Amino acid sequence: MRQSFAFLFALAMVLFAVSPVSAAEGAGHAAAIGMGLSVLGIGIGLGLIGYAALSGIARQPEQAGAIQGAMFIIAGLVVGAGIISLVLCLVTLFVG
């Protein structure tokens, strides 16, 4: 709990420190931070999905097929949302 609060606090400080710089120098810095956060979110999301699926399969091996099916659907949704976020950051970088 304490580590997650420290991580979120550090992330907020980085974002607030970069916002005046990105406003002065264009949207390149903000888009780069957005892309990094998108990839970080995808990695954390997929890691949590894999952890939960493996824990469920270890507890109930007979339900492995159902758990894997649900895992692939949820993983696809996480990756899809991350790709949309990356595309929006690239659009901000090259169009804005």
**Residue 88: CB partners within 8 Å, gap ≥ 6?**
34
Helix (H) or strand (E) holding 40: helix 28-59
The model's pTM is 0.67
Domain range summary for the chain, segments of one domain joined by +: 2-94
The H or E element that residue 86 is part of is helix 64-94
Please write the tens of the pLDDT for every residue from 39-91. 888 888 899 999 999 999 999 999 999 999 999 999 999 999 988 888 888 88
If you average pLDDT over residues 6-27, what whole number do you get? 61
66's tokens: 């159902």
Task: Name the token pair of 17.
Answer: 């420190």
Task: Determine whether domain 2-94 maps to CATH 3.40.50.360.
Answer: no
